[in-house]
Amino acid sequence: MSKPQVLVARAVFPEAVARLSEHFEVETNDSDELWPKAELIRRLQGKVGVFTTGSERIDAELLDACPQLRICANMAVGFNNFDVDAMTARGVLGTNAPDVLTETTADFGFALLMATARRITESELFLRAGQWTKWSFDMFAGAEVHGSTLGILGMGRIGQGIARRGAHGFGMKVVYHNRSRLSPELEADCKARYVAKDELLRTADHLVLVLPYTPANHHSIGADELAQMKPTATLVNIARGGIVDDAALAQALKERRIAAAGLDVFEGEPRVHPDLLSVPNVVLTPHIASATIATRRAMADLAVDNLIAFLTTGQPRTPVNPQVLGRMRGQ
Ligand code: DGY
C-alpha cells in the first residue's frame, strides 16, 4: 500500500525529513524558495499534511483548492499564517510549536533589550566606520537596565521568561499588561505587577512586546501609544510584525520621541520600512529570536511529531483548533 503524502514547504533539518519519510511519501523544498500561493497549491495536490514554517499563508482559497489536506503543522509558536476559522470549518487541523522555544526566545528578547538600551549596534557601526578617535565622557551613553522598570505587553510563557530575567537577574521592577491577569503565584514568581495598558506605556523604561498577532492587536503600538511613552524609553518587538505601526515608530525614533527600539519582526517582512533603515537609534534583526540550533531542532521535531501523531493515531501534541479532533471523534 502506498504511503500517505506530505509536503515540507521549506528547507528544514534532514533528520526531520528522514523521520517523516518513515511514515509518509515526502516532497521537500530543497531550494527553500518561498513558493507563491499557486505553486504551493499545485504542490499540495494529493497531500494529506503539510509542514509549514509560519511564512506560508493557509487560507480558505488554498484549503478549497486542496481538499485532501487534513493537517498543517507549523514549526513556530505563532500561527497567524493560519486562517484558523477557515481550517476548522473544513475539518483541517492546525498545530504549532509552543514551549520548546520559550527560554531561547526570552534570552533573545533580553539580548535585544540590552543591545538597544546600551546602543550596541550604533556604537559598533561607528567603530567599524573608523570614526572612533578618542574616549569621551558621554560617547554612546545609553539607558540603565539594572534597577529600571521593565514593561511587558503580552504575558504568556515568553513574557514570563523575560520578566524573570529582568526581575531576578537585573533587579528590575516588572509591570505587565495582558488580556488576562496571571495567577498570584505566577505574579510572585515573575515579581510582576499587573497594570492597565496606559500605565504600562507611561511607566516602562523598557517596553517589550510579546503578544500574539491577531487582527485586534494590529497596531497595538502606534503614534498615540508611542506619545505616551517616556522620551528616554526603549521599545522591543519580538512578537510579530503588524503589532507596531512601523512608520509611526520610525517617525518617533527620528524625532527622538522615544530613545531607541530593538526590532526582530516587521510589518510585511522580510521587507523593512525604509525609514527604520535610516534612523540610527534602532537595532534590527531578521526574525531570529528562536534561532539556536537546539531550539530550531526542537521546533522542527515538534512539528514532525504532530504530523506523525495526527496522521497515524489522530492524537497530535499541540493542536491549535482541537475542535477538529472532537468532530472527528463525533463529539
Ligand atoms: C515563532 O515561533 O512564532 C517564531 O516567530 C518563528 O521563529
Looking at residue 7, its pLDDT comes to: 98
Report residue 175 as a C-alpha cell.
Answer: 509591570
Looking at residue 328, its pLDDT comes to: 86
From first to last of its 331 residues, the chain has per-residue pLDDT tens of: 799 999 999 999 999 999 999 999 999 999 999 999 999 999 999 999 999 999 999 999 999 999 999 999 999 999 999 999 999 999 999 999 999 999 999 999 999 999 999 999 999 999 999 999 999 999 999 999 999 999 999 999 999 999 999 999 999 999 999 999 999 999 999 999 999 999 999 999 999 999 999 999 999 999 999 999 999 999 999 999 999 999 999 999 999 999 999 999 999 999 999 999 999 999 999 999 999 999 999 999 999 999 999 999 999 999 999 999 988 887 6
Exactly one of 177, 273, 287, 296 is catalytic; name it.
Answer: 287
Q: Which residue has the cell 491577569?
A: 181
**Ligand 1 centroid to residue 287 C-alpha, Å:** 8
The one-letter amino acid code at 316 reads P
Is 240 a catalytic site residue?
Answer: yes
Nearest residue (by CA) to ligand 1, atom 3, is 78
User: What distance in Å separates the CA atoms of residue 12 and residue 297, rounded to the nearest whole number?
Assistant: 9
Is 23 a catalytic site residue?
Answer: no
| Pocket lining: 260 vs ligand 1, CB cutoff 6 Å | no
**Ligand 1 centroid to residue 22 C-alpha, Å:** 27
Exactly one of 240, 267, 273, 296 is catalytic; name it.
Answer: 240
User: What distance in Å separates the CA atoms of residue 128 and residue 272, rounded to the nearest whole number?
Assistant: 23
| Pocket lining: 78 vs ligand 1, CB cutoff 6 Å | yes
Residues of the chain with CATH 3.40.50.720: 5-100+293-324, 102-284
**Ligand 1 centroid to residue 77 C-alpha, Å:** 5
Q: Residue 212: is the preceding peptide bond cis (ω within 30°)? A: no
User: What distance in Å separates the CA atoms of residue 102 and residue 107, rounded to the nearest whole number?
Assistant: 9
Pick from 80, 102, 290, 292 the residue to mutate for probing ligand 1's pocket: most ligand atoms within 8 Å of its CB.
290
pTM of the full structure: 0.96
DSSP assignment string, 136-205: -TTTT-----TTSEEEEE--SHHHHHHHHIIIIIH--EEEEE-SSPPPHHHHHHHTEEE--HHHHHHH-S
The domain 102-284 belongs to what CATH superfamily? NAD(P)-binding Rossmann-like Domain (3.40.50.720)
| Pocket lining: 101 vs ligand 1, CB cutoff 6 Å | yes
Looking at residue 329, its pLDDT comes to: 82
**Ligand 1 centroid to residue 127 C-alpha, Å:** 32
| CATH, range 5-100+293-324 | 3.40.50.720
Report residue 58 as a C-alpha cell.
Answer: 493557509
List the beta bridge partners of residue 52. 74
End-to-end CA distance of the chain: 31
